[in-house]
Amino acid sequence: MTLAAVEDWTRTLGAIISLASLSYAAVAMLKSLRRPAGREDRGARIILRAPVLLTATVLFLWVGYMLWRPLQVQMQPWLRVMLLPLAILLFFGGLALYLWGLRSLREMFGPSTSFAVRLHAGHRLITSGPYAYIRHPMYLAVIITAIGSVLLYRTWATLAFTIAMFGLPIRARREENVLAEEFGPEWEAYATRVPMWLPRFGPDPNRGA
């Protein structure tokens, strides 16, 4: 099998899994909007509504379609061979982390943006699954997947997506402000124990002996 054939097969598989993951997340988002709202910040009642979020999703897909043009980058075969395993690791590994985080949140999953955050009524702080290691595994997963997508597909759409995803720390900080207001000492203990983006390796200095 030629290198081009392996790349094409990997891209096709990646597209199938990406669309399936996006569909799964969209269904979970719509289900979450039916739950009674709890604590929310300003703008949530306007922005975090099904018509607005669906319109934003359709617009996102349309922009991606319009920008799905190859980057004018010529790579030697040896460089493509070296980058393909890294692209596979980042792209599919990121998707797996995203689905793990989504599965761990279950009914606590809900949409948010850089402009609005809403918690559910009776919201629980999830600290299991990947949330036992980092506070924002799904956002980290999106960033990792985005970088992998640039290496794998090499299109203007994936490049624009990757650049846009580096704004996720702003959204993460907004969410943390709402979570801190909602859970108080429980959140402070969790945030002290668990890092925001990268897991700690070795003994945790915040745990007892």
pLDDT at site 46: 84
Query: What phi and psi values does residue 108 have, to the nearest 5 degrees?
Result: -85, -5
pLDDT at site 89: 98
CB count within 10 Å of CB 17 equals 15
Task: Identify the helix (H) or strand (E) that includes residue 159.
Answer: helix 156-165
> Can you tell me the distance from the alpha carbon of 30 to that of 18, in angstroms, rounded to the nearest whole number?
18
Q: Considering the entire predicted model, what is its pTM?
A: 0.91
pLDDT at site 209: 35
pLDDT tens for each residue of 126-155: 999 999 999 999 999 999 999 999 999 999
pLDDT at site 142: 96
pLDDT at site 208: 44
How deeply is 186 buried, as exposed, middle or buried, from its count of CB atoms within 10 A (0-12, 13-18, 19+)?
Answer: middle
pLDDT tens for each residue of 188-205: 999 999 999 999 876 655
Q: Please report, for the chain, how many H helices and E strands are present, in that order.
A: 8, 2
Q: What is the dihedral of CA 56, 59, 61, 62, to 10 degrees?
A: 180
- Topology (CATH) of 17-193: Four Helix Bundle (Hemerythrin (Met), subunit A) (1.20.120)
Residue spans of the chain under pLDDT 70: 202-209
Domain layout of the chain by residue ranges: 17-193
* Coil vs helix vs strand at 37: strand
> Can you tell me the distance from the alpha carbon of 140 to that of 154, in angstroms, rounded to the nearest whole number?
21
CB of 32 closer than 8 Å to CB of 109: yes
